[in-house]
Structure 1
Amino acid sequence: MQLYFVRHGETQWSLSGQHTGRTDIALTLHGEDQARSLGAHLRGIPFARVLTSPRQRAQRTCELAGFASQARIEPDLQEWDYGDYEGQCSVDIREARPDWDVFKDGCPNGETPLQISERVDRLIAKLSVLEGNVALFSHGQLGCVLAARWIGAPVIQGRHFALGAASLSILGHEAAHPSTQVIALWNSMHSSLSVSP
């Protein structure tokens, strides 16, 4: 099994750097173009399953990439719940909390690192029983946590990963050691993609 993780296309808040968890914001026109371009690179890959976050930005990316007819909603793919920090930028949050880091501290009235770790571990457990290629349409910081937990690292290590809008990452297994989970591709942008099944 390989997981093809797609971060949704550009939104106004991804442009401004605002934390976007529960807010159901649409893609920009550029974000829609990004999704279509990404889809052209993915269409030759046979996917056994296509799963998407319930948020419209992820679902629309999935649709424009050409996979709406296969897609199923997976609630555990939704973005980190930022609680009181929803819609805020990290730089503004750090005016009051200079050392704040979502991967270390979580968000007041939102998810803690332990809670998102448990959610992502539950998602990995569900995915681990599947066979074949699985496409996941989701969000930036959720993807960083997924990558960290996939390789057995704690949530705080997610801060060392970066995911651009409409990027593709592949989580898989080491060929010589099939029980070893690896990050086979990370944060590949649609303009430079060259992937094969």
Structure 2
Amino acid sequence: MTAPAGSHSGGDAPEVWLVRHGETEWSRDHRHTSVTDLPLTEVGVRVAAELAARLAGDRFDLVLTSPRLRARRTAELAGYPEAHLEGDLVEWNYGDYEGVTTQEIRETVPDWTVWTHPTPGGETAEQVSARLDRVVGKTRAHGGRVLLFGHGHALRALAARWIGQPVGEGRFFRLDTATVSVLGYERETPVILRWNA
């Protein structure tokens, strides 16, 4: 798999800040959540609101959010109610596994993970890669500092694509709810500057 389009070649290096949405009932219970539009839990609301102070000292040239309620609400609570909706930031479509835990899936498909196995009725790794490559291309073309509000598997896959790796390499990047991660450059090389902080 090739590196995403729009590789950086010097000058004012862009930075992309990633924020995973706050806790929902299903994220708390480890249920795969893509198209189901769940609200944040009380804990999710509290920790999303705490993000405002963490992000207050930084200026962003572009703020994008997944259109899903949990991401939009996190953006709002973090101080970015005007974030632009970006459909390519939605979570990996889990198809028949929507609302199902990995443990439950493994009762019939041993060793299943979203990174290594198909998701019946859902997206393939190639489809996820194609749309996240569009996000990477958009952030690189925009330049400056970009803030993205999104979802666990999709943001992990985006980080993999940022550094030119297949989306399956996202399995190495654990990402908790309401955390901040930063992608950027070391000279001309795309790197992960901060993760799951």
TM-score of the pair, normalised by structure 1? 0.91
Query: Which position in structure 1 is the counterpart of 2:104?
Result: 92
Unpaired stretches in structure 1, ≥5 consecutive residues: 189-197
2:28 to 7, 11, 15: 15
Residue 159 of structure 1, CA deviation: 0.8
How do 1:1-197 and structure 2 match up within 5 A? 1-69=14-82, 71-174=83-186, 177=187, 179-188=188-197
Higher strand share: 1
User: Is the 1:105–1:112 contact (alpha carbons within 8 Å) kept by the matching residues of 2?
Assistant: no
Residue 106 of structure 1, CA deviation: 3.3
In 1, Cα distance between equivalents of 2:21 and 2:121: 25
Deviating above 2 A after TM superposition, structure 1's stretches of 4 or more consecutive aligned residues are none
Tell me the C-alpha RMSD between the 2 structures.
Answer: 0.8
Deviations 1:72-113 (A, max 9, x none): 000000000000000000000011000212112231110011
SS in structure 2 at match of 1:162: coil
Higher helix share: 1
- Output the amino acid matched with 2:121: N
User: Is the 1:171–1:184 contact (alpha carbons within 8 Å) kept by the matching residues of 2?
Assistant: yes
In 2, Cα distance between equivalents of 1:16 and 1:129: 38
In 2, Cα distance between equivalents of 1:134 and 1:117: 19
Aligned length: 184
In 1, Cα distance between equivalents of 2:127 and 2:118: 9
Residue 170 of structure 1, CA deviation: 0.2
SS in structure 2 at match of 1:91: helix
